[in-house]
Amino acid sequence: MAKFCANGHQMEDSWAVCPYCQRTGFQSPAAPPPMKTRMEGEPSKEAPPPLPSPGRRTVLLTDKRKPPVVGWFVALTGEQKGEDFRIHEGQNVIGSAPDADIQLRDTAVSGKHASLRYKDQKFFLTDLDSSNGTFVNEGTTPIAREELKDNDIVRVGEVTLKFKCF
């Protein structure tokens, strides 16, 4: 008689504990909703047909689609030179944090360095209390909040970004 652990891993008869089980400690927050009754179709019992090549549907796994793209940054210097970053409607955080919308791999860039917000057809760049400041075009004093226009240059840490919009 085959032996399986609680996770359905096949075990040798002599094993007391499954050596393959892993735990991350992660708990899915799903709560079971109420049960509804539904009829199941009667399955057919005819001779096996040839091997199927079933249709498939591709589905985006991200539930919340990002808002529309309204502009771009292009890195002009640094390790990411040539890379482009999409700017979406609403708020776009620029920083070195893994969850920054525009993620820059530069040690002089703060985790959440600056934010670019698009609202009512205007772009506003706001410094988020970054350690090394945010600069626009030829400016030598760090900005607090500034409106960006097409082709403006933004400097954060060692990275220079060119701003493009429709």
Partner 1 sequence: MRIRPGVDLANLTDVGCHRQENEDYYCYAEPDDDLVFERKGRLAVVADGMGGHQGGKVASTIAVEAVRDWYFNHLDLDTHEALRSAFQDAHAAIQEYSRQNPGLAGMGTTCTAVAILGDQLHYGHVGDSRLYLIRGGAISQITQDHSQVARLVQDGLITPEEAAVHPQRNVLTAAMGIEPASADFSDSPLQLYANDVLLMCSDGLHGLVSDQEMLANASTLEPLEACKELVRMAKERGGFDNITLQILRIV
CB 32, min distance to partner 1, A: 5
Q: Which residues bind partner 1 (CB under 8 A)?
A: 2, 4-10, 20, 22-24, 26, 28, 30-36, 38, 40, 43-44, 48-63, 97-99
Cβ 2 to partner 1 shortest distance, Å: 7
Between 36 and 166, CB nearer to partner 1: 36
Q: Is 11 exposed, middle or buried (0-12, 13-18, 19+ CB in 10 A)?
A: middle
Least separation in angstroms between CB 93 and partner 1? 13
Whichever of 53 and 141 has its CB closer to partner 1, that residue is 53
Question: DSSP class of residue 15?
Answer: -
In sequence order, the β-bridge partners of residue 130 are none
Helix (H) or strand (E) holding 154: strand 153-156
Q: Identify which of residues 16 and 30 has a Cβ nearer to partner 1 in the complex.
A: 30
How many whole angstroms separate alpha carbon 13 and alpha carbon 11? 6
